[in-house]
């Protein structure tokens, strides 16, 4: 009798041991979802992400909050998400340079772009537009090359600093076409646009939508867009590849959604499914088009990883040839 009671008790313990995880595991999402962004509020990526957050909140029935964590050369937000609990309630919405340029430019970064994250969606491409001051007399990308070679370093260009994608776009052009220009670092897009329009700086790669008003006013001369195909915002502006006869000359930043490594596959699948639905909605696609962004068809995590690795190698070569490496 005593033996039978012990066996029964053991079976009960075993049974509860099997059932307990299922009972304690809450359905996703069980609380607020945080979308962590390395860019400031009011940027194009921030505006688009807030539409995504609103739609995701409606779909999943839990609050979705955009959290802007700027600073530290865009390294703070990825670090924060990499260290968060991998349960799908903290996600990273970032631009591809944090995953492909930063690992090459900095001696060390506080996260591993491959090991610390799982790519969920590379949902839009963000191309740039190459503009010249209307006062410079430069009308085309070919004009830019000619003047740069003739004046040998007299031209200058605005960027957000060495190691940024706009800076490396100019480095890639200088390496390919053999000319020199002076780089002038800035902190804000509006100041770049103002100084280029005033002729204080002659050239810049800038966000396509941000520059539209000054282009329409004739203060900025559009030379080329950096996407593979022409943009709806500027149908008459050639691509960089068309303007310079080099099909591989495309420069885009990807907007990418990632989760911390070890996030459960079923949670990832829920987010992937909703992201595919949301990014196909007119509310999302129309704002993206107005911002000069290109919505992408869904890709697998492996496809996104391959794209990021290809971009990492590409910009790593540009950095190496230029001898650029951050001191820390």
Is 183 inside any structural domain? Answer: yes
Q: Residue 105's domain is classified under what CATH number?
A: 3.40.190.150
Q: Whose CA is closest to 56, among 264, 274, 276?
A: 274
Rounded to 10 degrees, the C-alpha dihedral 94/97/101/105 comes to -70
Q: What is the pLDDT of residues 98-119, one digit of tens each?
A: 999 999 999 899 999 999 999 9
CA 86 to CA 40: how far, in whole Å?
24
Strands (E) located in the chain: 33-37, 64-68, 90-95, 117-133, 156-159, 182-185, 203-207, 220-225, 252-260, 294-295
Residues 218 and 174 in one domain: yes
| Domain end among 204, 226, 244 | 244
| Residue 21 forms part of a structural domain | no
CATH number reported for the structural domain that contains residue 174 in this entry: 3.40.190.10
Pairing of strands 156-159, 203-207: parallel
Q: For residues 120 and 137, state if they share a domain.
A: no
Average pLDDT on 266-283 reads: 97
Helices (H) and strands (E) in the chain, counts: 13, 10
Regarding whether 294 and 223 lie in a shared domain, the answer is: no
In a domain, 327, yes or no: no
Segments forming the whole domain that contains residue 205: 127-244
14: part of which helix (H) or strand (E)?
Answer: helix 2-24
Helix (H) or strand (E) segment spanning residue 60: helix 44-60
pLDDT in tens, 143-193: 999 999 998 888 999 999 888 899 999 999 999 999 999 999 998 889 999
Position 24 in a domain: no
State the pTM of this model: 0.87
Q: How confident is the model at residue 74 (pLDDT cuts 50, 70, 90)?
A: confident
290: left (phi over 0), alpha (psi -120 to 50) or beta: alpha
Q: What is the DSSP letter of 237?
A: S
Give domain status of residue 26, yes or no: no
Last residue of a domain, one of 209, 244, 279: 244
Strand partners, 90: 34
Contact yes or no for 175/145 (Cβ under 8 A):
no
Mark whether 160 and 185 lie in a shared domain: yes
- How many domains are there within the chain? 2
Answer yes or no: are the C-beta atoms of 328 and 106 closer than 8 Å.
Answer: yes
Both 112 and 138 in one domain: the answer is no
Q: Which two tokens stand for residue 54?
A: 């609103």
Six-digit token string for 106: 């900095």
The helix (H) or strand (E) run that includes residue 13 is helix 2-24
Asked if residue 180 and residue 148 are part of one domain, the reply reads yes
In DSSP notation, 259-288 reads EETT--HHHHHHHHHHHHHHTTSHHHHHHH
Q: What confidence category does residue 198 fall into, taking pLDDT thresholds of 50, 70 and 90?
A: very high
């Amino acid at each position: 009798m005593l033996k039978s009671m012990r066996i029964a008790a053991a079976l009960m313990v075993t049974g509860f041991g099997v059932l307990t995880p299922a009972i304690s595991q809450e359905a996703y999402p069980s609380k607020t979802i945080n979308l962590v962004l390395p860019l400031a509020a009011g940027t194009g990526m921030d505006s688009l992400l807030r539409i995504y957050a609103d739609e995701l909140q409606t779909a999943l029935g839990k609050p979705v909050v955009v959290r802007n964590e700027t600073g530290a050369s865009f390294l703070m937000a990825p670090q924060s998400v990499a260290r968060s609990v991998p349960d799908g309630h903290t996600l990273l919405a970032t631009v591809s340079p944090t995953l492909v340029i930063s690992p090459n430019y900095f001696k060390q970064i506080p996260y591993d772009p491959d090991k610390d994250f799982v790519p969920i969606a590379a949902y839009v491409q963000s191309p740039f537009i190459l503009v010249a001051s209307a006062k410079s007399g430069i009308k085309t990308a070919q004009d830019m090359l000619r003047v740069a070679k003739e004046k040998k370093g007299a031209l200058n260009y605005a960027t957000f600093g060495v190691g940024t994608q706009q800076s490396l776009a100019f480095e890639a052009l200088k390496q390919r076409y053999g000319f020199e220009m002076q780089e002038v670092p800035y902190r804000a897009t509006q100041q770049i646009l103002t100084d280029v329009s005033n002729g204080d700086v002659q050239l810049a790669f800038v966000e396509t939508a941000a520059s539209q008003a000054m282009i329409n006013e004739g203060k900025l001369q559009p030379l080329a867009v950096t996407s593979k195909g022409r943009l709806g915002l500027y149908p008459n502006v050639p691509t960089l590849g068309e303007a310079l006869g080099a099909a591989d000359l495309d420069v885009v930043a990807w907007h990418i959604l990632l989760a911390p490594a070890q996030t459960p596959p079923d949670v990832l699948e829920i987010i992937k499914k909703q992201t595919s639905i949301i990014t196909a909605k007119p509310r999302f696609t129309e704002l993206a088009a107005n911002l000069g962004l290109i919505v992408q068809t869904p890709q697998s995590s492996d496809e996104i990883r391959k794209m990021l690795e290809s971009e990492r190698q590409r910009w790593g070569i540009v950095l190496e040839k230029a001898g650029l490496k951050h001191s820390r």
